[in-house]
Amino acid sequence: MPSAKTQPARGMRDFLPEDVRKRDYVIGVIKEVYERYGFEPLETPAAENIETLMGKYGEEGNQLIFKILKRGVHEGSGEADLALRYDLTVPLARVVAEYRDKLPKFFKRYQIQPVWRADRPARGRFREFYQCDVDVLGSRSMVVETEICAAASEVLTTLGFDDFKIRLNHRKVLTGILGVAGVALEKHDGALIALDKLDKIGRDGVANEFNDRGIAAAAGTRLLDFFTELTSLEHAAEIAAGEDPPQKQEALNKAVLGRIVEFVGDNEMGSRGVDELQSILDYARAAGIAKRVRIDPSLARGLSYYTGAIMEISVRDLAGSLGGGGRYDNLVGMFAGQDIPACGFSLGLERILVVMSERSMFPSQLGSSSADVMVAIWNEDAVSDSLNLAQELRRAGLRVDLYPEADK
């Protein structure tokens, strides 16, 4: 009889004790910081009704939803009516709609649970992974964006990160830029999906994707020219600002916002987005995180439910991001039937763990045994004494490992 497979399913992982201790350490820091900012914990089921999830993540997201076929003798068919949650934001929107009368006017929650995506497994890409979300519902104030950025920044600095930036953009700014460039309104979502890959596949790659998505060549060229020009502008602003990091970042943000204002002109949507970005920058200065925030008009974030500011954390010399989020004022209304503004951010736990391991950022004691004392059993006659001693030490507050056999 052939032996059963012992490895986990594709895209899934086992976590041995040392791995779990590292994960618990990072999660503990995240919880501590989030609660210091006034956020409350929330948990939701792993499975959601499939109609809850479908249509909330754009065309690419819909294809990655992990559908669950009906099971059990009482089910009439094998058609999927449930799905594993794709993220923690849509379940949050459902919860707010369901329990609106039991929640405070401004609901601040954090949630740390696994999510599942039917993606092709690859190095660093899994089908099951944890998200660490923080969200505020009920307020349109840009103070919310600032507080969320400050909380995420404090988590990373507490864990030992220093060389990171919070890239900041705005969906209204993007809408204004796309409109002025001549991208047809019905092509905006496709253009944003392609634009979000600019730092990964480069100008030529994005141009090819624009073409594949039916975006007019002239509009695509004008867009890419604008972002290429911004890169040169940022470089010049950095040189002019000298070596002082806060001054350099402030000069860069001022130059970029100025160029956006010139490009969007009297486009109302783009101008409103610029005003909100400026408010966030002003509040970030008051919150002491201005040096972390960088205006990046190329940041798009692919999820279609974002309506306002969007954020993403990048680390120097590291591909990809450590987290991202933004404002999604219309999503909760899909479930609640009323307008409920919301803004949130998700830290990438798995990515943070990989980087911390590669850079040896974990405290040294995490790699050791969880026990303070080991009690041995010298022979069968000593079993009772060893058990009594182990219990006495535990009552004294020590972590005790009782070795169960009298090895020779």
Question: How is residue 62 annotated by DSSP?
Answer: H
pTM of the model: 0.86
Q: How far apart are CA 42 and CA 194, in angstroms?
A: 34
Q: How far apart are CA 144 and CA 277, in angstroms?
A: 13
What single-letter amino acid sits at 14? Answer: D
Residue given tokens 């003798």 in the structure block: 73
Q: How far apart are CA 214 and CA 166, in angstroms?
A: 32
Q: Which two tokens stand for residue 154?
A: 């404090």
Phi, psi values for residue 201, rounded to 5°: -115, 0
Q: What's the pLDDT tens digit per position in 43-101?
A: 999 999 998 888 777 677 778 888 888 765 555 565 678 999 999 988 998 999 899 99
Q: Which two tokens stand for residue 92?
A: 């949050």
SS3 per residue for 317-372? CCCCCCEEEEECCCHHHHHHCCCCCEEEEEEEHHHHHHHHHHCCCCCHHHHCCCCC
> Residue 63: what pLDDT?
81
Q: How far apart are CA 208 and CA 188, in angstroms?
A: 16
pLDDT tens for the 408 residues of the chain, in order = 566 789 999 999 999 999 999 999 999 999 999 999 999 999 999 999 998 888 777 677 778 888 888 765 555 565 678 999 999 988 998 999 899 999 999 999 999 999 999 888 877 788 999 999 999 999 999 999 999 999 999 999 999 999 899 999 999 999 999 999 999 988 988 888 888 788 788 889 999 999 999 999 999 999 999 988 887 776 666 655 555 666 778 888 988 999 999 999 989 999 999 999 999 999 999 999 999 999 998 888 766 778 999 999 999 877 778 999 999 998 887 888 888 999 999 999 999 999 999 999 999 887 666 788 999 998 888 899 999 999 999 999 999 999 998 876
Residue partners of 278: CB distance under 8 A and separation at least 6? 257
Q: Which two tokens stand for residue 11?
A: 């895209």
Cβ atoms of residues 361 and 26 within 8 Å: no
**Domains of the chain, with CATH numbers?**
17-364 (3.30.930.10), 372-402 (no CATH)
Cβ atoms of residues 321 and 213 within 8 Å: no
